[in-house]
Structure 1
Amino acid sequence: MASTVLNCVISVPKATGGRGDFPSILPRNSASVSFSSSLKPQLQGFSTDGKQRSSFVQTEAVRHLVGSVTKTQGLRFAVVVARFNEIVTKPLLEGALETFSKYSVNEEDIDVIWVPGCFEIGLTAERLGKLRKYHAILCIGAVIRGDTSHYDAVANSAASGVLSAGLNSGVPCIFGVLTCDDMDQAINRAGGKAGNKGAEAALTAIEMASLFEHHLQ
């Protein structure tokens, strides 16, 4: 790879010889310091005229790595779905499958795994990730707030479980679990007024699968 060169002019205070002043150790001519990507500076001189000047020139463009939602050929996905609150999770799943189809993911490259509830999603996702069969795992569920603190325990466990599954398996695990105050909020986010969060999560799964497969191998 070619070296990236940074050129700059550095200002150094004038030397007067008085107490506390800098000693006159540098020439009074203007020049620059260049640094290669090997981090070995090459001294070419300094400016001691007291002017505040600097310039940086980068000769190579910064690379941006982004997953593609159009390059889906060969990508395989697992979808872990909680049966609890199925009135919400089923429309979320349908939205996800429609999105996969829209972006040309083959049906035979998608496996849907049902689990009892959101608490079981994380463990299942991690197991699937370690099978090395899938490029991304989409986790779908719905936790509705009730009269007790059970909601907080399940919601927090679901979030941390999905996060741990991705970190421990090295496979992108997408959090598509709704955490809502009431059933109306959940239904609105499962194809209602607020859209379908399952569809949005599926798009995230495609992008992350592409990013890992094409750029982070």
Structure 2
Amino acid sequence: MASKGNKTLHKGIPKLKDAFIIIVKTAWNSHIADKLEEGATTLLHQQNIECKTLIVPGAVEIPFAIKAYTESRLQKADAFIALGAIIRGDTPHFDYVCKSVTDGILSLNMILDVPSIFGVLTVNDEQQALERIGGIHGNKGEEAAITAIKMIALNRKLKK
């Protein structure tokens, strides 16, 4: 069961200089992914952190987009945030998609030198998603942005 927002996460957000974050969000369930992105980008802009969004068709494509971006000659990202919503249906497809994107993000965190933050909702129904994009459980996009900031600060500290 999700908590009603992680109040301790909002404490002690480090101030970063010259940070750049790539958000990778899904077009699938865009009405939810857009609200996650809004929460993330609002917080990042408040922290004076530059960000850019890439849009992929669905959640399974998120890890590919992150890896492809790291291999491009585009501006180096300090972190990636994966955003989307996977809503359970009547078939096992939900389980396969959830496992694929979860394993993909985990794999990226093991091989890349910057963090990939898991901000993909995996919910039983649309109501649960709505509760996590500004409802009783806060905005999980905002929480993903805070997590990215804290992980960038940790990564920079460890690389010194």
What TM-score, normalized to structure 1? 0.64
Q: Does residue 149 in structure 1 map to residue 92 in structure 2?
A: yes
Which of residues 119, 134, 137 in structure 2 aligns to 1:191?
A: 134
Q: Which has the higher contact order (CA 8 A, sep 6+)?
A: 2
Partner of 2:134, secondary structure, is strand
Identify unmatched segments of 5+ residues in structure 2.
Answer: 1-11
Name the SS for the 1:134 alignment partner.
coil
Paired-residue identity, %? 37
- Per-residue CA deviations over 1:41-96 (Å, capped at 9, x if unaligned) read xxxxxxxxxxxxxxxxxxxxxxxxxxx73321111110000010011100000000
Q: Distance in 2 between matches of 1:169 and 1:215?
A: 15
**Higher-helix-fraction structure:** 2
Correspondence list, 1:17-96, <5 A: 69-96=13-40
Paired residue secondary structure (1:69): coil
Q: Does 1:173 align with 2:120?
A: no
Q: Unaligned stretches of 5+ in structure 1?
A: 1-67
Report the counterpart of residue 82 of structure 2 in structure 1: 139
Match of 2:69 among 119, 128, 141: 128
Note the 1:83-122 alignment, pairs <5 A. 83-105=27-49, 109-122=50-63
| Helix, strand or coil at the partner of 1:124 | helix
- 1:121 & 1:154 partners in 2: Cα distance? 11
Pick the structure with greater CA Rg: 1
Alignment deviations for residues 135-192 of structure 1 (CA, whole Å, 9 cap, x no partner):
1100101100000000000011011111112222221000000000000000110111
C-alpha displacement at 1:130, in angstroms? 4.0
Q: Which moved more, 1:147-156 or 1:132-141?
A: 132-141
| Mapped pair 1:207 → 2:150 | yes
Aligned-partner SS, 1:140: strand
**How many pairs does the alignment contain?**
147
Moved over 4 A (4+): none
Q: What is the distance in 2 between the residues matched to 1:171 and 1:150?
A: 30
1:77 alignment partner AA: I
| Cα RMSD (Å) | 1.5
- Deviation sequence 1:99-134 (CA, Å, 0-9, x none): 1122221xxx21110000001001111222345701
